[in-house]
C-alpha cells in the first residue's frame, strides 16, 4: 500500500486543558478505504472525511483542530475539523473543511469598480485566510453593493460577470494551506480515462429542465400619476404614486429564439433589460443570454482507478465504447478520492460546454 500520513494538530488547548498544543499521527488508526478527499468547482471548500478505529480510549480530533493529509508524499489536504462523532466501539468519524470554508462567512461590502482578482484579494483578507492569485483577470467589474452575502457569493458575482464579458472562467481552489484563484481548465491532463483505461463504471445523463430557448428581455415603464383628495376640513392634498399600477405600467420587450424549439418546445424565461438600454442593446442582451441558456445539461459520472491529478478544475479526455463517445478535455466539476488499499476516484464531469455550475452559496 502507498505510504500516507494523516496528522492531527491541536489548534489550541481550549478542550484539552494541556499546557501546550500537541500533535498526533492518525495513519495507523485510520480505517482502510475510509479517507475521502473531495474537491469542487462550484464555490465549496475541499473536504476530508475519515474514520478512526481505536483498540482503547480514542484520541478525539476536536472541532477547530487542524488536520493534514499526504498521499505518496504529495500534500493534498490541510484544513479544520468541523464535525466528529464518537461511537460506543471507540471509533471516531471526522469531517474537515479546507481554509476556503471561511468564505462562507457573511458580510456587507461596497465594492468599487475593479477586477475579479481585486475582489478575491479583498474577501480573503477579510476572512483571514492565506491566498494567492494563480491566474488573474484584467476585466473591470462595475461597482456593486453586496449586503449580507457570503464571501463566496461576492466572488461568484464578479466571476460570472467576467465570464459573460470575456468568456473566461475562473474558480477557487484549496491548494493545501493556500486558497487560490485559478482559471479553468487549470490543467489539461495528458491521460485518458475510459472503457480500457481505468474506468470501472459510468452514468451519462442529459436534461433540459434548466434550459431556455426563448429569451425575452423586458423593459418596464411605470408612469407617475397624481391623485388630488380633499379632507373634511377642506384642505387639498396631492399624492404621487408610482409602481405597478395597471393604469400606468407598460412593458416593451425583445426576444431571441433558438432552433431547439422544434425539438424541445418553447422554453421561455425573462431577463430585465440593462438600464437605459435601447432596442439594439436589448436584442444583443437576449442573444448573449440565449447562447448561455439554450443547451442541454449533460453530466457524466465516472468511477475509475485513483489518480491524484483528477481534481476539480482540471480536464481529461474520456473514451466510452458503449456510448461511442470520445470527449476531449472534459471538465471535472467534482472529484471524490477514496484512499486505501482500493484507491479510486468518483468524478462528476460536464459533458457539454459549460464549466461553472449555477447556484448561490448563501
Residues 191-247: tens digit of each pLDDT: 889 887 889 999 989 999 999 999 999 988 876 544 444 444 445 444 555 556 787
CB atoms within 10 A of CB 218: 15
31: three-class secondary structure by DSSP = coil
Topology of domain 188-209+296-350, CATH: Elongation Factor Tu (Ef-tu); domain 3 (2.40.30)
Per-residue pLDDT tens over the stretch 250-285: 888 899 999 999 999 999 999 999 888 899 999 999
| Domain extent listing, the chain | 4-30+47-97, 102-183, 188-209+296-350, 214-292
179-190 residue pLDDT tens: 999 999 999 999
Give the pLDDT of residue 358.
42
The architecture in CATH of the region 102-183 reads 3-Layer(bab) Sandwich (3.55)
Neighbouring CB atoms inside 10 A of 320's CB total 17
Q: What is the structure's pLDDT at 343?
A: 96
DSSP string across 268-311: EEEEEPPTT--HHHHHHHHHHHHHHHSS-EEEEEEEEE--TT--
Amino acid at each position: 500500500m502507498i505510504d500516507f500520513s494523516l496528522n492531527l494538530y491541536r489548534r489550541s488547548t481550549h478542550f484539552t486543558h494541556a499546557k501546550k498544543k500537541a500533535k498526533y499521527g492518525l495513519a495507523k488508526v485510520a480505517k482502510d478505504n475510509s479517507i475521502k478527499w473531495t474537491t469542487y468547482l462550484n464555490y465549496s471548500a475541499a473536504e476530508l472525511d475519515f474514520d478512526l478505529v481505536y483498540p482503547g480510549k480514542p484520541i478525539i480530533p476536536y472541532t477547530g483542530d487542524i488536520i493534514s493529509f499526504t498521499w505518496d508524499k504529495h500534500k493534498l489536504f490541510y484544513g479544520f475539523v468541523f464535525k466528529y462523532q464518537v461511537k460506543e466501539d471507540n471509533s471516531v468519524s471526522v469531517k474537515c473543511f479546507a481554509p476556503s470554508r471561511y468564505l462562507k462567512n457573511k458580510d456587507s461590502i461596497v465594492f468599487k469598480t475593479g477586477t475579479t482578482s481585486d475582489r478575491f484579494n479583498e474577501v480573503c483578507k477579510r476572512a483571514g485566510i492565506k491566498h494567492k492569485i494563480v491566474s488573474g483577470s484584467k476585466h473591470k467589474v462595475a461597482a456593486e453593493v453586496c449586503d449580507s452575502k457570503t464571501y463566496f457569493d461576492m466572488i461568484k458575482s464578479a466571476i460570472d460577470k467576467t465570464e459573460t464579458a470575456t468568456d473566461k472562467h475562473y474558480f477557487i481552489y484549496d491548494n493545501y494551506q493556500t486558497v487560490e484563484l485559478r482559471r479553468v481548465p487549470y490543467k489539461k491532463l495528458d491521460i485518458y480515462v475510459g472503457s480500457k483505461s481505468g474506468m470501472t463504471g459510468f452514468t451519462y445523463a442529459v436534461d433540459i429542465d434548466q434550459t431556455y430557448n426563448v429569451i425575452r428581455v423586458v423593459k418596464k415603464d411605470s408612469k407617475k400619476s397624481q391623485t388630488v383628495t380633499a379632507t373634511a376640513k377642506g384642505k387639498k392634498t396631492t399624492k404621487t404614486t408610482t409602481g405597478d399600477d395597471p393604469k400606468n405600467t407598460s412593458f416593451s420587450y425583445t426576444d431571441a429564439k433558438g432552433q431547439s424549439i422544434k425539438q424541445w418546445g418553447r422554453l421561455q424565461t425573462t431577463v430585465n433589460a440593462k438600464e437605459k438600454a435601447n432596442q439594439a442593446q436589448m436584442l444583443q442582451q437576449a442573444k448573449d443570454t440565449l447562447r448561455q441558456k439554450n443547451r442541454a445539461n449533460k453530466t457524466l459520472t465516472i468511477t475509475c482507478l485513483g489518480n491524484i491529478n483528477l481534481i476539480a478544475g482540471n480536464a481529461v479526455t474520456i473514451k466510452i465504447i458503449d456510448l461511442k463517445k470520445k470527449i476531449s478535455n472534459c471538465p471535472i466539476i467534482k472529484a471524490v478520492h477514496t484512499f486505501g488499499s482500493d484507491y479510486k476516484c468518483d468524478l462528476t464531469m460536464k459533458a457539454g460546454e459549460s464549466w461553472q455550475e449555477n447556484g448561490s452559496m448563501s
